[in-house]
Structure 1
Amino acid sequence: MFTRLALLIGAICLIMAIAQAQTEYAALLRVDNGRVQILRANTQEWITLPVGAQAPFGVGDVVRTDFFGRAWITLLDESATVFVLPTSDLTLLTFSATDDQRATVQFTQQGRVIYQVADHDRFADFRISTDHLTITQPADLFAVQVLPTQTSVVIGAGRATITDNTGNTRTAITATDNIGVRGTPVGLSAPIRLTPPTTFAQLDGVLDGCIGVIQARNQQNLNVRVGPSERYDVIGTIPNGQTVPLMGVSPNRERYRVVYKSHFGWILALEVRNRCDNLPVYGYNTLERQYGVL
C-alpha cells in the first residue's frame, strides 16, 4: 500500500514538474472562440479544447481552428503572441532556450496567423517557414497567409526579413510598415505598398486585380453584398467615382467580386466601368468573410 502511494505521489510530482516546465519555458495556448483542437507531438488523436481553456504548447504540437475558431499562443511571458485565425493551423517546429533565457523558435502554418513580437531581445532566432518563403527576422506586428499555391505576408509595424523558399539570403526582401510580399514557387514579389489597415485582400487586389470605376446611375453609392446575388445581405456601400480592384465575376457575369475593407464583396457589374477580361468565375454559393488583419 505504501509503495503504491509513493509511486502515485511521485507520478503526480512528475506531471506537475513537466507542466511547470512547459508553462515557464515553452508556449501557452489559450482558446478564444469557436472550435479549437490540439494534436500533441507523436500522437494521432485530436483533442478538442473548450472556449477559455489553457494548455501548454510544445515542440511538435499542432493547433487548428474551425470556421469560427480563434486561439492565441504566448511565449516567454508574452514576449511574443501568436493569433491563430479561423480555418487555420499552426505547428511549433522548434523551441529551445539558452542559459540567458533567449529562445530559438520556428513555426509553420496553413491559413492565416498574426504574429506580434513585443521583445525581440528575448529571441535568438524567431522564424516562420512555409513552402514558398521563410521569415528569418520578424517584424513587431505582421500576418502570414499560407495557401496551397502561395504565401502572403503583410507588415503592420516594424521590419521583417523575408527570403524565398530556399532561405537564400541573397534574395532576401526587407519589408517595413504597411508593406506586403507574396511568395510563389517561382519566387518573391516586389514589396507592395499598402494602405492601413493592411490586409491580404488589399495585397491580392494590387497583384491580381483589374481596376474598375464605380458609376452607379441612379444612386450615389453602390451596395456591396456578401455573395454574388440579391439573396445575400448588404454589408456596405462604395461611393460613385471610386476605383476598385475587380477580382472575379459571377457565372452570369452580373456581379463582380471586389476588394472591400478587410476582405471581399460583390457589386453589380452594370454599375462599374472597366476593361477587364478573363476574370476568374466564382460560383453562386460563394460567401465572403470579413477579416480584421492589421
Structure 2
Amino acid sequence: MIRRFIKERRSWIFLVLSLQLLFIFVAYIDSMIPLKPTIYIVFLSAIIFSVFLIIRYIKETAFYHSLEERENNLDFTSIPEPESPFENIVQQQMINQIEWLKRVNSENSMALEQEKDDLLSWIHEVKTPLTAMHLMIERIEDKELKASLTYEWLRIHLLLDQQLHQKRISSIENDLFIEQVDVESIVIKEIKTLQTWCIQQRIGFDIHINETEVLCDAKWLAFIIRQLLTNAVKYSSQSDISITSYQQGGQTFLEVRDFGRGIDPKDLTRIFDKGFTSTTNHDDQNATGMGLYLAKKAAKSLKITILVQSILGEGTTITLTFPKRNDFVNMIGV
C-alpha cells in the first residue's frame, strides 16, 4: 500500500524536493544568502513535509480500507464522510456507480419477471388448443394412428408441464399447501397419463403401495413422481417398473425401480445438476437434463430426500424419503 501511495504522489514529492534542493543551490552560489540557515530551514521543511505525508498516508489508507470492506455493500450511507477533495471525488464516483448498479439491477429484475409472466401466460394459452387436440385424437378410429398422435401429444404436454413448473419453482414456498396426500392415487393418475407411451415401450407396472398417506403438497409431489416415472419409462424397454411404498423408523419411503440401461457410476453425483444429461449417452437428443434437477429442487422445499442407486446395464432405483410430521412444524402450523 505504501509503495502505491508514494507512486501516485511521486510528482508532488519530486516537486517539493526539487524546490528544497534549488534553495540550497541558490544559497550556495549566492554569497548574499547564508548557507547554513538555509540548510536548516530546508531540513525543518523536509521534516514537516515527511510528517504531512505520514498523516495523509494513515488517513487515506483507512479510507481505502473502508471502501474495500464495503465493496459488496450497496448501502453507501455507511461510507465515512470525506476529509479531502480527492476522497470526495472517489466517494462521489462510487455513489454514482452504486446508484447505476441498483438501477440496472432493478431494470433487469423487472425484465426477467415480465419475461417469466409472459412465458407462463403463453403456456396457459397453449394448453387450451392442446386439450382440444387431445379430444380430437380420442375420436380417431385408426388405433395405430391414434397411438402415434397420442404419444406425440404426450411429449408436448410433458415438455410444457416441465417448463411451467420450472418457472414456478423459484417461488415454490408461496405455492405450497401441506396436507394428507394419498400417494397411491397420485401414482395411478401419473401412470394413466403415461399409458400410451408405456404401451408403445411395452412397459408394465408392479405396484405395491403399503403406505398410502403422507404429509405433503399434492401438486408438487405429483410433479416429482411424474419426473421419476418419465425417466424410468424413457430409459427402459419391455420391462416392468416397480413402485413400492413402506414405512420404517417412523418415516415413509417410496421406491421407483426400473430395469433399464442404468446410470454410469461416474454420473451418479451429477444427475441432479442443471442441464446434465449423460457421459455414456451424450448424443441422446431426448434428454433435457432438467427433470431430475427440478425434482430435486422441489423435493428440497418439501423436505423430501431423494436417494439414487443404479447399476449400469441393470437398472435404477430412486427412493423418496418423506419427512416425519414434526419436520413440518417450522413450515406450517399443524
| TM-score of Structure 1 vs Structure 2, range by shorter chain | under 0.3
Q: Which has the higher contact order (CA 8 A, sep 6+)?
A: 2
Q: TM-score, normalised by structure 1?
A: 0.24
Question: Quick check: which has more Rg, 1 or 2?
Answer: 2
Q: Which has the higher strand share?
A: 1
Q: TM-score, normalised by structure 2?
A: 0.22
Q: Which has the higher helix share?
A: 2
